[in-house]
Amino acid sequence: MNKPLIAKINDKFETALLIIQAGALVIITVATAIAIVAEGYDMFHSRTIGLANLLLLFLFIEILSMVRQYALGQHELKLKTPLVITVVAVARYLIINMEHLTSKWILLTSISILILTISLLISRQIKGLHDDEMEDLKMSSAKKLLAKVTSKNNNDAG
């Protein structure tokens, strides 16, 4: 049977949004790759590598990780990745501009890093276990279950 008009429009709209999202992800990826090359070029020609440069490269890696997570995952972002990016970005800002900032501004920026870090910790506590720990827990549970089944089969056979 034919789909109702509303369902057809909804499908077209969803397809259009997916195309726009994919295009935006490609743009973000290309722009980040260009920024990585530009930063590498600047470091090579200045012959200095500072903490600010390394933090910027780390930010680029995290952005690519976030794009990969979104594109290859369930089209959802985990809260952890943007929070980590923000903490590193604010820390980088603080490191680069330290001599130009007033002590009050440094204190406020440091407090913002603390608040972001606490929110990251809270988000991990609310979720329960960290993803890696959860995966380890699943694996150990699967191993225990397999051991039980194996021992039961051995007992039944013997």
Question: Looking at the structure, do residues 71 and 138 belong to the same domain, yes or no?
Answer: no
Question: Looking at the structure, do residues 98 and 141 belong to the same domain, yes or no?
Answer: no
Q: What is the pTM of this model?
A: 0.62
Provide the pLDDT for residue 136. Answer: 52
Question: Looking at the structure, do residues 45 and 63 belong to the same domain, yes or no?
Answer: yes
Structural domain span for residue 83: 5-130
| Per-residue pLDDT tens listing for the chain (158 residues) | 567 888 888 889 989 998 998 899 999 999 999 999 999 999 999 998 888 888 889 889 989 988 888 888 767 777 788 888 888 889 888 888 888 889 999 999 999 999 999 988 888 887 654 555 555 555 565 566 566 656 655 565 55
The per-residue b/e assignment along 63-86, b for 16 or more CB within 10 angstroms, e otherwise, is beebbebbeeeeeeeeebbebbbb
Question: Looking at the structure, do residues 75 and 18 belong to the same domain, yes or no?
Answer: yes
- Provide the domain count of the chain: 2
Give the Cα separation of 82 and 84 in Å (integer).
Answer: 5
The per-residue b/e assignment along 89-108, b for 16 or more CB within 10 angstroms, e otherwise, is bbbbbbeeeeeeeeeeeeee
Provide the pLDDT for residue 149. Answer: 57
